[in-house]
């Protein structure tokens, strides 16, 4: 399921994946009522949704990571952040049966610091304290995607 599947495997190369290129493709940060008072920011309730999409491209694979972060304060939307981050990935000497796992779990994990930087910057520009996404269970998301059923 990769664009480099037709390349001959070089047994001298170490197995691994490489982010050939990664970049922000879309960012929306909406704060309909302006920032929440600083002393109240700890009372913001956040809901995070993540989706990973993979596509085969010429010579590599593309991974799109979509995150939606909704924050509510006093049962009203404080802010809504939607972000899509893309990576072109090359894999060397990776067994076919684990390629999908790497694209849907390992690559998104490696993109989190870049997403954090973009989200943090947008939040601060909108008057909110910094935001750090610390954990997303990409393994669970992948299992739900492959099984077609939610895992609790």
Give me the count of residues in the chain: 152
| CA–CA gap between residue 123 and residue 139 (Å, rounded) | 27
Question: Does any domain span residue 8?
Answer: no
**What pLDDT does 151 receive?**
62
Q: What is the CATH number of the domain that holds 109?
A: 3.10.420.10
Range 117-124 average pLDDT: 94
Q: Which domain holds residue 60?
A: 21-33+41-131
- Total domain count, the chain: 1
34-48, 52-66, 84-98: range with lowest mean pLDDT: 34-48
- Supply angle C-alpha 51, 117, 143, rounded to 5: 20
Question: Does any domain span residue 101?
Answer: yes
The closest of 102, 108, 121 to 29, measured between CA atoms, is 121
pTM for the structure as a whole: 0.82
**What pLDDT does 12 receive?**
62
On the CB side of 114, how many CA atoms lie within 13 Å of its CA? Answer: 20
């Amino acid at each position: 399921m990769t664009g480099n599947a037709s390349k001959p495997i070089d047994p001298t190369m170490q197995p691994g994946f490489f982010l050939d290129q990664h970049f922000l493709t879309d960012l929306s940060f909406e704060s309909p009522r302006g920032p929440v008072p600083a002393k109240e920011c700890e009372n913001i309730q956040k809901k995070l949704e993540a989706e990973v999409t993979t596509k085969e491209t010429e010579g590599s694979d593309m991974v799109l990571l979509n995150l939606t972060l909704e924050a509510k304060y006093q049962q009203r939307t404080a802010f809504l952040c939607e972000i899509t981050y893309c990576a072109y990935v090359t894999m060397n000497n990776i067994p076919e049966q684990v390629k999908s796992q790497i694209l849907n779990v390992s690559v998104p994990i490696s993109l989190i610091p870049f997403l954090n930087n973009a989200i943090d910057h947008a939040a601060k520009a909108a008057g909110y304290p910094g935001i750090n996404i610390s954990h997303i269970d990409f393994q669970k998301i992948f299992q739900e995607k492959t099984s077609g059923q939610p895992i609790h």
